């Protein structure tokens, strides 16, 4: 299990769990990111910019701090 921020680009994974309070988890759930969901890291912006991920066919940009609180298991 690794944080989403360490997942290699173009790799797919399953969200194992999310650390953080109820507001943070609600925010991620509104983006489609919650335990059991398949997620793919699409790209990383340079200079510590956001990470672009794909969930349910939708691309979303999230901050690196958020990505460090999302733990995933690599599937391929």
- Domain boundaries, given as residue ranges, for the chain: 2-74
Note the pLDDT of residue 30: 94
The CATH class that applies to domain 2-74 reads: mainly beta
Note the pLDDT of residue 44: 81
* CA pair distance 22, 52, nearest whole angstrom: 23
Quick one: residue 48, left, alpha or beta (phi over 0 = left, psi -120 to 50 = alpha)?
Answer: left
Of residues 49 and 73, which shows the higher confidence score?
A: 73
């Amino acid at each position: 299990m690794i944080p989403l921020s360490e997942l290699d680009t173009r790799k797919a994974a399953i969200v194992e769990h999310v650390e953080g309070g109820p507001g943070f988890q609600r925010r991620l759930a509104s983006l489609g990111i919650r335990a059991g969901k398949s997620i793919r890291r699409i790209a990383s912006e340079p200079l510590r910019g956001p990470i672009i991920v794909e969930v349910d066919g939708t691309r979303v940009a999230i901050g690196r701090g958020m990505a460090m609180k999302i733990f995933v298991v690599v599937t391929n």
